[in-house]
A and B are shown apart, each in its own frame.
Chain A
Amino acid sequence: MPRPGFVNVCAAAAGIGFGAVLASVITNESRAALAAPGGLLTAAGRLAALTGTYLILIMVVLVARLPWLEQSVGQDQLIRWHRRLSGWAISLIIAHVLLITLGYAEAAQSTVVSEAWLLIRSYPDMLAAVVGFGLLLLAGITSYRAVRRRLRYETWWVVHLYLYLGLALAFAHQIVTGVSFIDHPLVRALWIAIWISTAGLVLTCRFGLPAWRSLRYGLRVVEVRREAADVMSVICRGRGLDKLPVSGGQFFLWRFLTRDLWWQAHPFSLSALPQPPYVRITVKGLGDASRTMASLRPGTPVAFEGPYGVFTDHARLSDGVLLIAAGVGVTPLRALLEDLPRDADVVVIVRASTVADVPHRAEIAALVDHRRGRLHELIGSRHKVRLTARTIRHLVPDIAARDVYICGPPGFGDEVAGAAQNLGVPDDQIHSETFGF
């Protein structure tokens, strides 16, 4: 259930926290300290440290998979915010390191290099902080698009995971050496509270909740069914699946607990609402993992995280719906179709190179027929058949009064969303789900 009010509460809390941190740093400075040699530099360094670290903690919370936040905003939006903050956060921490070293060096009348070495060898926990800083830089560099493209996903993911360790290593020097906290027990308490809250959220929502859910529902593979040339369905069986809080169109992160696949989490949408005790996903065989999945044995346990995604009926604003999919993109739409209310006016457009490229074609046709909707299949090679704004307008003249759900590869999604905008569909009535995010 989306909770838009909750997002506002979170944003307000984050803002208030930032303000409190900012105020603490500023009021803890003294004119005498600022006037001393290196005083301005170190004060700026402290400001950068506290604000930068606060932003990092916000970034951690954004991807901690808080259920209420995720349901209201969606995983991909949260990740977008996470990415946007990253530049600021890392820059502030780099500034902190430079400003403090320069400031201390000026106060001690020594060179920057010798001061840096003095900091590491005589201040406790400073070496750990330096290592944490290195891990932060490494995560930032590897996430830079130009670099990330050249890395295997697993490498990037492991480097990013080390950030948890980096944060833990950096914490000690903040509390022990932080000048802003000397003689200010309330500020220190606030800082520790922020850290504990973040850690608590991560442990609960990022690790605890998924683990508990996986154990509770106890999913196991029952069958791997071939739908088309490189498209397969994986059907799993679980306990008490009628209690699983999932809406049509949502996805889970799936972990098949085999020796090769256990450490990978793959986002796959349900291709139908759960039919207790069974759930089904439909996957296109791209990449090593998907191919390995083809040989999954019945009885393999499955761990999962989720459900995630706002590509659901809850996001619908109008009474009419237009579902547009390309190829295996019909998967979430097939589930969404089941979840739409009785009286929704449904039009479905499916774009694929051949008929065989549309999984569950018969099921979709049956569902559309049952609702007295319209189904348009645009089959053919990309050169012969094109899904343009004009085509859409011809097929669905009243598109501007509908909610448009689009699912397919990134290029397709952008094109169709652009076409919908041009045809007068308001932005909040356009819902997109792209694979390979």
Chain B
Amino acid sequence: MKRAPIVIAGTVAGLVAVLEFHTTPVKLTLAGGSSLPSAVAGGAGATTQPASGGSTPAQPASAESTPARHAQSGSASGQTAVRTATGERVNYNFGVLSVRITVSGSKITKVGIAYLDDSGNPRSQFIDQEAIPILEQQALQAQSASIQGVSGASYTSAGFEQSLQSALHSLGK
């Protein structure tokens, strides 16, 4: 019992150290998304920018982090129409998500997440972070909502597919 002060001090120090340990939690960035590479997107459509917001500098179609845009059609040079749509919000059992797509003519050129809420559970976040980029790629390759899904993220896959389908419907595909 003589060592009690040392033991207590050690306990307090250890406790503070453990509680102050900063984790770098996995966080899914919503602004990103997957796009087709410019060559595949085809011709002039790839470099066409919408008429409004003309001060936007010319960017290759594969650029990330474009700000959200409402569904628009037409462009100054009368090229193929570029439209975006956001699918319905789907409850996929571990949270809610919705998918946003960009269509150029008849080709889906960009797929991303418009909304994601997985209740802050780290495991869900981790799974979603791994699965969603893969799902986006699958959508671009399939050019439809018939994607295989990601094993180990079946709920996320099903929700993604459902929201993607509703986005495509709203564009008449």
A182 touches B152 (CB 8 A): no
Contact B1–A263 (Cβ < 8 Å): yes
Residue in B14, B15, B25, B154 whose beta carbon sits within 8 Å of that of A32 in the complex: B154
Q: In the assembled complex, which residues on chain B have CB atoms less than 8 Å from the CB atom of A263?
A: 1
Interface string of B136-170 (1 = CB under 8 A from A): 00000000000000011111000000000000000
CB of B19 within 8 A of chain A?
yes
- Residue in contact with B94 in the complex, picked from A122, A169, A176, A183, CB distance below 8 Å: A183
Distance, CA A210 to CA B94, complexed state (A) = 46
Give complex CA distance A263, B154 in Å: 56
- Tell which of A30, A108, A123, A260 touches B23, judged by Cβ atoms closer than 8 Å: A123
Asked whether any CB of chain B lies closer than 8 Å to the CB of A158, the reply is yes
A165 interface residue per 8 A CB criterion: yes
CB atoms of A177 and B123 under 8 A apart = yes
Contact between B24 and A37, CB atoms less than 8 A apart: no
Asked whether A385 is an interface residue with its Cβ less than 8 Å from the other chain, the reply is: no
Q: Which residues of chain A come closer than 8 Å to B93, judged between CB atoms?
A: 183
- Residues of chain B contacted by A39 (CB below 8 angstroms): 152
Number of interface residues of A (CB under 8 A): 31
CB of A93 to closest CB in B, whole Å: 18
Which residues does chain A contribute within 8 Å of B127, judged by CB atoms? 107
Contact (Cβ within 8 A) B18 A33: no
Q: Does B119 make an interface contact (CB < 8 A)?
A: yes
How many A-B residue contacts, CB cutoff 8 Å?
Answer: 67
B1: chain A residues at CB < 8 Å are 154, 260, 263
In the complex, what residue of chain A is closest to B122 when comparing beta carbons?
A: A123
CB-CB contacts of B24-38 with A at 8 A, as 1s and 0s? 111000000000000
Q: CA A162 – CA B152 in complex, angstroms?
A: 38
Interface presence of A121 (CB below 8 A): yes
Give min CB distance, A130 to chain B, whole Å.
9
Q: B123 near A123 (CB under 8 angstroms)?
A: yes
A36 and B152 contact, CB distance less than 8 A: yes
Most buried by A among B21, B24, B152: B152
CA distance A365 to B121 in the complex (A): 72
Contact (Cβ within 8 A) A124 B23: yes
A123: which B residues are within 8 A, CB to CB? 23, 25, 122-123, 126
With A128-B18, A182-B119, A182-B121 already in contact, the answer to whether A108 and B26 are too (CB < 8 A) is: no
A38 CB–B CB distance under 8 Å = yes
Query: CB distance A37 to B94 under 8 Å?
Result: no
Which among B25, B119, B121 has the greatest number of chain A C-beta atoms within 10 A?
A: B121
B130 interfacial contact with A, CB 8 Å? yes
A37 to B127, CA, bound (A): 12
Is A194 interfacial (CB-CB < 8 Å)? no
Asked whether A179 and B123 contact (CB < 8 A) given A107-B152, A127-B18, A263-B1, the answer is yes
**List of B residues within 8 angstroms of A35 by Cβ:** 151
A158 and B7 in contact (CB under 8 A), knowing A123-B23, A128-B18, A182-B94? yes
CA A127 – CA B17 in complex, angstroms? Answer: 10
Interface residues as binary, A285-304 with B (CB distance below 8 Å gives 1, 0 otherwise): 00000000000000000000
Q: Are A122 and B7 in contact (CB under 8 A)?
A: no
Q: Give A contacts to B, CB under 8 Å.
A: 30, 32-33, 35-39, 107-108, 120-124, 126-128, 131, 154, 158, 162, 165, 169, 176-177, 179, 182-183, 260, 263
Give the A-binding residues of B (Cβ under 8 A): 1, 7, 11, 14-15, 18-19, 21, 23-26, 93-94, 119-124, 126-127, 130, 151-155
